[in-house]
Each structure stands twice: as structure tokens, then as C-alpha cells.
Amino acid sequence: MRTTTRVLLPALLAALAAAPVAAQNDTPGGGTQPVPSDSAKVEAAQTFFAGAQQIPIQNYRPTDKRGLNMFEAPKNDGVPYDGFKLLLGAAFTQQFQTIGHSNTAGPKVVGGVDQNALVEIGPGFNNAVANLYLTAQLARGISVHMTSYLSSRHHSETWVKDGFILIDSSPVDVPLLNGIMKYTTLRVGEMELNYGDSHFRRTDNGNAVYNPFVGNLIMDPFTTEAGAEVYVRSNGFLAMGGITAGQLHPSVTDPRHRTPSFLGKLGFDRQLTPELRLRLTGSVYTNPHSTEQNLFSGDRAGSRYYFVMENAAPTSTENATLRSGMLNPGMNYALTSWVINPFVKFNGLELFGQIEQAHGRARTETENRTWKQYAVDATYRFLPGEPLFVAARYNTVRGPLAVATPTTPLGGDVGADRWQASAGWYITDNILLKGEYVTQKYTGYADTSIFNGGKFNGFIFEGTVAF
């Protein structure tokens, strides 16, 4: 699959890029489309592009452009229940990267290899990656969802990312339960945790349709765990509570060093006027101690910036260096993290913010450390249907390293600052081309660290198809 995708996808995207702009689906908030009338079908058949596939699944976030600015899956989307339905989808993405990097670290030779020498990189294509989506409507308001990574930077083989059941209606027709489920949603299984809002706007391996940029945040809050989440929503207000196994790979071993993770979310999301939408949420995640805590290292798909700030050692493969350009605070045993996310959309202008603090430690440490992350981005979408956009983001991260990794001056914090500027074109609801300029600088690292005086900058272009 990986070899075939690598060869065919660039040719497909190049052919599509030469096509004219089609009429875009303008569904405010990214909602699902109603079943078209016969006249609408005739009109669609006369256009250059085929329309996006209809969504037969209730409470479903489309994987294409219609899912833009959706966060939690919609509670009441107007899709009628008409028995068992099966929906198959996919997403394919590839980049062309031309980024340079440098540092001022002193030599650190181990086994004849300078651990602070950077690998030589230059313009070229990255390997293509792909997702497969399988969704089934099992009953009224009840569906099961599974995502597989057909190919990713970290794994060349196909593997399952998540699988969960979404319950938005009572499985039995009892008035009391029907009344409760009018406002309640249950999500149970191995799933992407609903901590914060940035994971709804980030790139997820092969699907880059929701992200106005190519790269995700420097300290990327994203992981999957086995557990359950309960939602209550009414009139724009949201409350969620969840409990999970507290591990990326659930296990029954070492029970003394395992505790469940607890997470919660409160928020408000409302279209105040036809032009103005406001959303504000706060989230928290906590785990006293776990053998494998991965809130900031759970993205097994890897970074979009291949090999930046990586060592020139023979072991520097794209698999081994999957988190190039990212920072992980290393709190993999005890962690409490909270984040606040404001989102404003006024006509074509979107503003999104990330205010985050993580407090915890690794298993070998005796004292907790605190890391902080701030990010703000602005996106402007224009033309009818908003097929074109420009965007800019600033992201900064600071915090102390573990004592076991003394690569920072005594008492100081390390961190990084990143600027991103991008532009994109939705050729159709299913096809997106975008380009980004990125520059990132590292601060606070000692001369013994490969990040000392480190920086990278350059351009990266990306094409994605999702349906």
C-alpha cells in the first residue's frame, strides 16, 4: 500500500491542481447535506466535479471540507434513521518539503558519531500517508466508528488508530431514557480523547482537510486511550466527563503503577448572529501515575517536518525521528494538564487560541515540573463558499527538562518559538492544496544539546484528498 500510494498520489494531485475551481458547498458550521432533489441531481451532473457523497450516518462529522469548524460530532443533524447504513471513507496526503536547519552546539562524539551534528536535508517529497474510515449505523442514534492508518511516517504497515461506539439515542423506547438522551451523548471505546479543541483542527495522519496549516502545534496534545466519555449539551452549552485506562497501550500488568485518567470539559458554542459564532471551552486531564502517559507524545503518525533538527547518525530514519520539530515535556508518569481554547468566526475571519499548562513528572523524577504553551492563529476564508484561505499562527512553548537530561543551563527553561504562514485552495470539498512557510527557533538549551542555537525554516507544500 505504501509504495503504491507514494507513486500514484503525486500524479493524482498534480492533475487535479490544473482543474478549474468548482462551486463549493457552503454549509455553515460544516453541517451535513440534505438528500438532494431530482432537479438538484440534474444540476450537479452538469457541473465539472461530482458532488461530495451524501452522509447517511447520524451524528457524523464529515471527513471532507464540510467538517470544517465542527468540533464534537453534531447532536441533532437532521439525518433521518433509515436502518443499517455503512459508510466507507479515506484520506490521502503528501508533501513537498524544502526546509533548512542549523545549530551552534559543540561536538559530542559517542562511538565515533557526533551526536550534535545535524543530518543533511534538502528539497524533496515526503512519503505519502493515508487513512481509512469505516462507519456503521447500528440503530437509531447509535453508530460505530473505526479509523485505520493505511500508511504513516511511524508505521509502514496498516494499523488501527481507534474504534468506538457513539450513542445519541436510547437503545430502548422508554420516555424517561428518551428524555435523557435528548441532551446526552455517550462515547465508549479506544478513542481520540476530547481534551481541548486543537485536536479537532489538527492534521491526523492522512487527513489534513481541517488544518489551515501543514504542521500541528509544537507541544501537540493528542492521544488515544480506552475509556468512556459522557456529554450533556443544551442551547449551546457543553459539559463532558470521562475516564480512561490511562495508557496508550492498555495492559493488566504492573497494577501498582497504573491509575485511571480523568478528563473533563466545559464550554459554550453558539451562532450569535448570522455573521458571528463564538466558542469558548476549558479542558482538564489528570493521571496520578501511569506506566505509559502519552498526552503529548500520543501522535504515532509523526510530524510533518521531516528530519528537522535531527542527528546525522546512521539510525536517523523517518520512523526513529517521527517527532521532528516537536517538543515533549516528558511527563510520562504523573500529569495534570489544562487548556483554554477560544474560537471566533466572523464572516470569513476565524481566530483560534491555545492557553495551556502541564504539570507533572517522569517516573524517575521526585519533583513535578511545569510547562506552558501559548498559540494564536488567524484564518481568513474568501470567495463564495470560502474555497480560498490565508492563515498565520504564532506558537511558543517553555518549560524545564528532567534532571536526568541536563541539557539546559542550571535553573533555566528550554523551549521553542514558531511562526507559520499559509495559503490554501479547496478545489472541491474533497481536495485541498496548501503551502506553508515555517520558521522555528529553540531557546535555553546548553551547548551539549543538539538544540543549542537551533533553528529551521523553509517552505512545505501539501496536497490532500479526503472523502
- Calculated CA dihedral for residues 110, 113, 116, 122, nearest 10 degrees: -160
- Under the banding of pLDDT at 50, 70 and 90, the label for residue 52 is confident
Q: For residue 340, give the 3-state DSSP assignment.
A: strand
Note the pLDDT of residue 36.
46
**Residue found by looking up cell 516528558 in the block:** 330
Domain 2-466, CATH number (from 1.10.3720.10, 3.40.190.10, 3.40.140.10, 2.40.160.10): 2.40.160.10
CA distance 278 to 3: 44
Q: For the residues 330-342, what does the mean pLDDT come to?
A: 94
CB atoms within 10 A of CB 195: 24
CA distance 201 to 344: 14
- Under the banding of pLDDT at 50, 70 and 90, the label for residue 50 is confident
Note the pLDDT of residue 2.
43
CA distance 401 to 403: 6
Domain range summary for the chain, segments of one domain joined by +: 2-466
Q: 365-394 pLDDT, tens per residue?
A: 889 999 999 999 999 999 999 999 999 999
Note the pLDDT of residue 224.
94
Q: How many helices (H) and strands (E) does the chain have?
A: 3, 19
All cell numbers assigned to 201: 483542527
Give the chain's mean pLDDT. 88
CA distance 354 to 343: 9
Q: For the residues 163-189, what does the mean pLDDT come to?
A: 95
Q: For the residues 147-167, what does the mean pLDDT come to?
A: 91
CB-based burial label for 402 (10 Å; 0-12, 13-18, 19+): middle
Note the pLDDT of residue 14.
40
What share of the chain has pLDDT > 90, as a percent?
A: 72
- Phi and psi torsions of 178, nearest 5°: -60, -40
Q: For the residues 62-67, what does the mean pLDDT come to?
A: 96
Q: For the residues 314-322, what does the mean pLDDT come to?
A: 83
All cell numbers assigned to 39: 432537479
**Is 41's pLDDT higher than 60?**
no
The DSSP string of 196-255 is SSGGGTS-BTTB-SS-SSSS--SS----EEEEEEEEEEETTEEEEEEEE-S-SS--SS-G
Note the pLDDT of residue 75.
92
User: Do residues 374 and 399 make contact, with C-beta atoms less than 8 angstroms apart?
Assistant: no
**Is 286's pLDDT higher than 80?**
yes
Residue 414's nearest CA partner among 445, 456, 440 is: 445
- Under the banding of pLDDT at 50, 70 and 90, the label for residue 253 is confident
Q: For the residues 232-260, what does the mean pLDDT come to?
A: 89
What share of the chain has pLDDT > 70, as a percent?
A: 88
Residue 299's nearest CA partner among 431, 207, 436, 189 is: 207
Residue 4's nearest CA partner among 158, 212, 119, 211 is: 158
Q: For residue 44, give the 3-state DSSP assignment.
A: helix
Residue 364's nearest CA partner among 329, 402, 337 is: 402
| CA 263 remoteness from chain centre | 18
Q: 412-424 pLDDT, tens per residue?
A: 799 999 999 999 9
Note the pLDDT of residue 11.
41
Q: 71-124 pLDDT, tens per residue?
A: 999 998 889 999 999 999 999 999 999 999 999 999 999 888 899 999 999 999
- Under the banding of pLDDT at 50, 70 and 90, the label for residue 5 is very low
Note the pLDDT of residue 51.
73
CA distance 181 to 164: 18
Note the pLDDT of residue 43.
52
Q: For the residues 313-322, what does the mean pLDDT come to?
A: 83
**Residue found by looking up cell 464534537 in the block:** 72
Q: 443-462 pLDDT, tens per residue?
A: 999 999 999 999 999 999 99
User: Do residues 185 and 294 make contact, with C-beta atoms less than 8 angstroms apart?
Assistant: no
Note the pLDDT of residue 21.
34
Note the pLDDT of residue 406.
55
Tell me how many degrees the CA angle 55-26-267 measures, rounded to the nearest 5.
75
Note the pLDDT of residue 42.
45
**Is 37's pLDDT higher than 70?**
no
Residue 297's nearest CA partner among 374, 213, 228, 358 is: 358
Note the pLDDT of residue 407.
62
CB atoms within 10 A of CB 122: 9
**Is 309's pLDDT higher than 70?**
yes
Q: For the residues 329-352, what does the mean pLDDT come to?
A: 96
- Under the banding of pLDDT at 50, 70 and 90, the label for residue 167 is very high
Q: For the residues 229-254, what does the mean pLDDT come to?
A: 91
